[in-house]
Structure 1
Amino acid sequence: MKKAVYTSYGSPEVIQIIDIEKPIPNPHEVLVKIKASSITRADTMMRQGTPKFGRLIIGLFKPKNTALGTGFSGVVESLGNKVTKFKIDDEVFGEKLFSNGTNAEYLCISEDSIITLKPHNISHKQAAPICDGFLTSYSFLRDIGKLKQGQHILVNGASGSLGTAAVQLAKNMGATVTGVCSTKNVDLVKSIGADYVIDYTKNDFTKMRDYFDIVYDSVGKTNYSKSKKTLKANGIFMTPVLGSNVLWYSIISPKRVKFSATGIRKQRDLKMLLAELVTFFSQGKLNTVIDKTYKLENIIEAHKYLESDHKVGNLAIVN
C-alpha cells in the first residue's frame, strides 16, 4: 500500500510516498480501506518541526513519528478475531493520533479507539476532517470554555477548519457569534451562522471593549495580552495553538486563559463528544466546509496550499 511519510524537518518537499505491506489487524483491530483523510495546519507544523521547543517531544533532530495525517474515513475491509463493534463493509470515520498515519491507503485501528460509524448523509471527504475541526472546537466550546446559551463568543480565524466548526457549534449551543476573517470569506462565515463578521483587513477586534464572554483564537494569530480588553469581567481567552505566550498566561491566569491539546484528553471523553457530533451531523445541523481535495500522490501540493494561508475550511486527501 502507499503511505505518506517524512523523515526530516523542512519544506513540503521532504514528504515521500512509499510502498509498504498492507497491515494485518490485531485481534481487537479493524482494517480500514481509507477513502479520505485529513490534512491540517498541525500536520505542516509537525513537518516543519515548529515551534522548535516542541521538538523536545516530537524529536530533537528528526521526527520520531514519520507518518502524516490523523483524521480518516473509509470502509472496514477485515476484522481482528475478537472485534464485536464493527462488521465488514461498515463505513466508518475517526482519528488516530501519535500513530502510523492516515495519509495512506489502509489503516489498522482498535475498535475501542476514536472510530465510529459514518452518518449516511455525509461523504467520506466530509467525514475525514471532523475529528480535526469539529471535535477540537467542540471540546473547547463545551468542556473548556463551558459556552452557555446567550453568551457572546468571538471566533478568530472563522473561515478555517476549527473556525467554521466553532461558528456552527456555537450557534447550535445558543450563543451569539462574531466571526473574524478576511474580506473574501465574509459571506461564507455569515452563511454558516455568524451573527456578526469582522473583516480583519478593515477593523481590529482588539479595539473593542468589554464585549465578549469568550475569545476563541482558532488560528494562533492573536494572544491574550492583545485580546484581554475585549473580554467581559469574567471572560476567557482560549486557543488550541501552542505558543510560549499562551502557555505562560495559562499558568499565571488559569481562569482567564485556556490552552488544551485535544489529542491528550481521555479517550472516553473524546468518544462521548464524537457521539454527540455524529447526532448533529445526522440531523443536518452541521456541515463540513471543504475547500479542495487532493490525491495522495499530490500531498506535497496540498501542504504547499496549506502554507499559502489561502485555505478555507478543510482540505481532504482522497484515495
Structure 2
Amino acid sequence: MDKIERITALHRILKGARYPVTVKRLQDELGCSRATVYRDLAYLRDALMAPVEGDGEAGFRYAAGQTDRFELPGLWLSSDELYALVASQQLLLRTGGGVLAGALAPLQKRLEGLLADHAGTERWPVERVRVIAHRGRKLDQAAFRCVASTVLERRQLSFEYRARSTDERTRRIVSPQRITHYRDNWYLDAWDHGRQALRSFAVDRISSARALDAPAIEMGKDELSQHLASSYGIFSGEPKGWATILFSPKAARWVADEQWHARQEGRFLADGRYELKVPYSASRELLMDVLHYGADAEIVGPPMLREQAKSLLELALTNYENDPGKR
C-alpha cells in the first residue's frame, strides 16, 4: 500500500471509529511500520488539517463533533485508478491528431503532480506510456470542439461536408446524437434534417462548423443502436446480408480473438481453418478488412460479395503486369 492509499485508508478508519484507535491496530490495517503510522498521522493532521487527536498510549481519533465535517481535500485516487487514468489521458492526448491536447493540458499537470506524489519523485516518466496511432487523419481542432460541444449541449449543428467518395461539398444541418471514436478517427452520428435520416459523418471532413440555438432532435437509444450498430463497421445501417469468411489455420489464431461485430458468429473447422460470419450493410469496409489478410482469407458468400472481392483482386493485379519504369 502506497502513501496515497494509506492516507485514504487512515482517514476512513478514523472517520468510522467511535473510540480511539491504537497504533498497533493502525499498523495491522495499513500494513506498515509504527514509524510510518506516526508520519501518516502527522501528515493527515498538519498538511491536510484533519482534526486528529490522541497519543501513542490511548490511541488516535478525530475530535468529537468534527468527524462528519472533515473530508480529504482535492482528488484522491488509488494507484490502480491513477495509473488507469494517466494511461487513458495519454491515449486521448496522442490520438486524433492531438486535437484534445490543449483542453487536457491543465489535467496533464495535475495528473503529473499526483503521480509524482505516488512515486516520491519530482517528475513522472509519462513518456513510458506509449500510444501509436494507426492511420489517423488530421482534424480541424475548432471543428472538432464545435461538434463535441453540440453533442454534449444537445444543440443543432450546421457545417460544410466534403464527401470522401465523390469530393462533393454540401451544407448540412443536423441534430447530433453522439460522437464516436473508431479506428483512430472520429465520427459524428446525427439526424440529417435535409435528408430526414440518420447519418454518420467523418469529423475530419467537416469544416465551417457552427452551433445553432435550436435544440437537437432526440433519437431513441434503441433506434440509434438498431440503425447505426446493427451492421458491420462505422458505415452501418440495416444489414443487407451476412458474409461468411474462411481464414487459414495461420490467420485463425488471430481472427478467433478479434471482435469484428457484436453479433458475429465464429467457429473452428476440423482442418484448423476459422469460419467467421458477420452482418454487413455497405461492403466497402468489410472488403477492405478481408483483403487485409491476403491469401489467408476467402469470402465464401454471398456470391455478389465474393465477386466484388475477386474483381478488386484482379484490378490490383493489373498494377503489377507491367514494369513501372515503362509506364
* Higher RCO, Cα 8 Å, sep 6+: 1
TM, length-normalised to structure 2: 0.23
TM, length-normalised to structure 1: 0.24
Write 1 or 2 for the structure with the bigger share of helix. 2
Query: Which protein is bigger by CA-based radius of gyration?
Result: 2
